[in-house]
Amino acid sequence: MSGMDLIGFIVVFILATYLGASLIGRVPPTLHTPLMSGANAVSGITVVGAMAVAGHTDYGRLGTVLGFIAIVFAMMNVVGGYAVTDRMLEMFKKAPGGDK
Amino acid sequence: MISTSVERLLYLVATVLFITGLKQLQSPETARRGNQVSALGMLLAIIVTLLSTKTVTYATIAAGLLVGGALGLYMARSVKMTSMPQMVALLNGVGGGSSLLVATAEFLHLQQTGATASVDVALSTHLGVLIGAVTLTGSAIAWAKLQEVMTGKAIVFGGQKTVNALLFAVIVALASWLIVVPTAPLWAFYALIGLSLLIGVLLVIPIGGADMPVVISLLNSYSGIAAAMTGFVIKSEVLVVSGALVGSSGIILSQIMCKAMNRSLSNVLFGAFGAAAGKSSKTAEGLVAKTTNVEEAALQLAYAQTVIVVPGYGLAVAQAQHQVRELMDLVEKRGGSVKFAIHPVAGRMPGHMNVLLAEANIPYDKLLDMDDINPEFERTDVCLVIGANDVVNPAARTDPSSPIFGMPILNADLAKRCIVMKRGMSAGFAGIENELFYGERTQMLFGDAKGTLSKLVAEVKQV
């Protein structure tokens, strides 16, 4: 990675951290558990890296094994996270009529 | 097959979908759609990776996607809502584990080809390994504590902090060696992995079960940062952005939890709270708690105009959420209003109690946060405390010598009448005597939450 590239990535990382903080700060406490499991699913994005390892022949046999386990782990995180979040959010209902 | 620029653009679209999804989580009305939008972004990212020119073999990928997806779906479908903290701990762990494996594979690949990694790639690789490994084993311990496979008590031994500091110093030394001397032997890298896994265990065992909400939030953050580090290694913007988003979300949730317990993050992580039951600052000697019975309590509830229920984890353990809802329906049918006061640490993770009550079909607009409900207690006819203790202890407001002094609490003691449902007079998690139980306006209703609530429901029906 060239110096300029690296700085670009660091800029992206810092801006995304601030964006995340401002987004999460406004989530009401009642949704904190689904927020956490949903955010969790997003961190399963490492599946992209895992697929790059497993789908490439250069990494050798060990690479394929590591890549396979990495995909399984990341997919558990992705599918498990989104599915369980959906299951929880489905239960959140407003009072009938929408008022107290 | 698609070109690299198109690939990067589509990853950007996926990133935007993640951000939009998170934004829609800000309201219960749009939250479900937000989660689906985010999932769509993930699907897009996976498809783009499949179409990438860099992908040449598909069998391993397909097998991995299927096995992992099926396991994830099974877990999500079968998990009980009370076990949600364990589930999230497990998901954090596998996410961190995945980042660890990817960073490891990248490192080994570079070694094989004999190429020298630039300092920044090497640094992010080792950071990815360290954070991924800590997330993996730390989450495993958190899971075991929550699942009660191992003791929930803090495990402490002499020189613990020194051992941890030494281990950490060795890890830093190993990583520096590997970065500065690219020809450093491979065992140094394996040692780095092993020690990082070990320090993950050592960091979590001294933390008590009651503090697990903070630990889970923090590990959630780590799993994101590990993904971001992997992004630096494989030069992927989508990994860096998504990782950073999750990283900051976990940090914010940990801070909220710490604030709710009036403890600093370092106190939670290194204070070994709950190793032994704390000494109560005041004893209950000479104080007598008034008790009541189901019939009397039912009468008070039946004629109350305003009722606030303070649910604690005891309610969830007893699986009595449905009985509470029945009681709520009955009181409302008689013209009273029922609200629920939710303390941030009422469950075993942030927002856990809200999920448990939502499962029992209690509308979310009846669940009020501490700051919103506290001014209402004074005007409330009956406050019903079910299985909660420390979060309604007025000593947090009034007694500077109490270990929980300064912790934000629900002002149950200010209600016109307070009925405390509890198994017995035992002290709470913090091991502190609760003055609320001896208050002028308090009546104790002993028994297990589920049985007593069922009897209450039957009695209120007859009033």
Nearest CA in chain A to B105: A63
> Which pLDDT score is estimated for A100?
40
User: Is B322 found in the same domain as B261?
Assistant: no
Q: Is residue A63 part of a domain?
A: yes
- Residue at a domain's end among B211, B235, B270: B270
Residue B275 lies in a domain: no
Is residue B163 located within the same domain as residue B203? Answer: yes
Residues B38 and B93 in one domain: no
B413 in catalytic set: no
What mean pLDDT, rounded, does chain B reach?
Answer: 88
Q: Which residues are CB-contacts of B364 (< 8 A; sequence separation ≥ 6)?
A: A30, A92, A93, A94, B28, B354, B358
CB pairs under 8 A between A and B: 400
Residue-range definition of the domain harbouring residue B316: 294-462
User: Does the pLDDT value for residue B287 go beyond 50?
Assistant: yes
> Quick one: B34 and B66 in the same domain?
yes
Same domain, residue pair B152 and B256: yes
Closest CA to B221 of B257, B251, B242: B251
Q: Which of B206-215, B262-271, B445-454 has the highest mean pLDDT?
A: B445-454
pLDDT level of residue B382 (50, 70, 90 thresholds): very high
Q: Is the pLDDT of residue B276 over 50?
A: no
Among residues B50, B78, B106, which one ends one of the domains? B78
Number of domains making up chain A = 1
Say if residue B215 is in the same domain as residue B325: no
> pLDDT tens for residues A16-66?
999 999 999 899 989 999 999 999 999 999 999 999 999 888 888 888 999
B58/B197 same-domain check: no
Tell me the residues of chain B between 18 and 77 that have a Cβ less than 8 Å away from chain A.
Answer: 18-19, 21-23, 25-29, 31-32, 34-36, 38-39, 42, 45-46, 49-50, 52, 54-58, 60-61, 63-65, 67-69, 71-73, 75-77
pLDDT in tens, B157-216: 888 888 999 999 999 999 999 998 888 888 999 999 999 999 999 999 988 877 888 899
pLDDT at B427: 64
Is residue B204 assigned to a domain? Answer: yes
Q: Note the pLDDT of residue B242.
A: 95
Range of the domain at A28: 3-92
Please, which residues 3-62 of chain A have a Cβ atom closer than 8 Å to chain B? 5-6, 9, 12-14, 16-21, 23-60, 62
Residue A76 in any domain: the answer is yes
Over residues B409-438, the mean pLDDT reads 82
**Highest mean pLDDT (candidates B31-40, B275-284, B293-302, B419-428):** B31-40
Separation CA B345–CA B128 (nearest Å)? 31
> Is the residue at A100 inside a domain?
no
- Between chains, do A9 and B54 touch, taking CB under 8 Å as contact? no
Asked if residue B307 lies in contact with residue B301, where contact means CB atoms within 8 angstroms, the answer is yes
How far, in Å, CA of B104 to CA of B87, rounded? 26
B chain contacts of residue A97, beta-carbon cutoff 8 Å: none
Residue A97 — pLDDT band, cuts 50, 70, 90?
Answer: low
Say yes or no: B369 and B449 in one domain.
Answer: yes
Is residue B126, in this structure, part of any structural domain at all?
yes
**Residue B138 and residue B213 share a domain:** yes
Test B39 with A51 for CB contact under 8 angstroms. Answer: no
Interface membership of B299 toward A (CB under 8 Å): no
pLDDT at B279 over 50: no
Rounded to whole angstroms, how far apart are CA atoms A41 and B40? 12
Same domain? For B61 and B114 the reply is no
What pLDDT sits at residue A98? 47
pLDDT of residue B95: 95
| DSSP strands (E only) in B381-441 | 382-386, 417-422
Give B113's contacts in chain A (Cβ within 8 Å): 58
Q: Which of B78, B102, B135 is the last residue of a domain?
A: B78
Give A4→chain B minimum CA distance, Å.
12
Give the pLDDT mean for B347-366. 90
- The pTM assigned to this predicted structure is 0.89
Query: Among A14-18, B219-223, B239-243, B402-406, where is mean pLDDT lowest?
Result: B402-406
| Residue of B75, B92, B249 lying closest to A24 (CB–CB) | B249
Provide the ipTM: 0.93
B233/A71 Cβ within 8 A: no
Statement to judge: residues B101 and B243 lie in one domain: yes
| pLDDT value of residue B285 | 56
CATH number (domain holding residue B315): 3.40.50.1220
Given B120, B211, B365, B390, the catalytic residue:
B390
B37 and B105 both lie in a single domain: no
Confidence of residue B283 (pLDDT cuts 50, 70, 90): low
* Distance from C-alpha of A44 to C-alpha of B14, rounded to nearest angstrom: 13
Residue-level pLDDT at B91: 95
**For chain B, how many structural domains are there in total?**
3
Q: Which residues of B356-390 are buried (b: 16+ CB within 10 A; e: fewer)?
A: bbbbbebbbbbbbebeebbebbeebbbbbbbbbbb
Helix or strand (DSSP H, E) at A51? helix A46-54
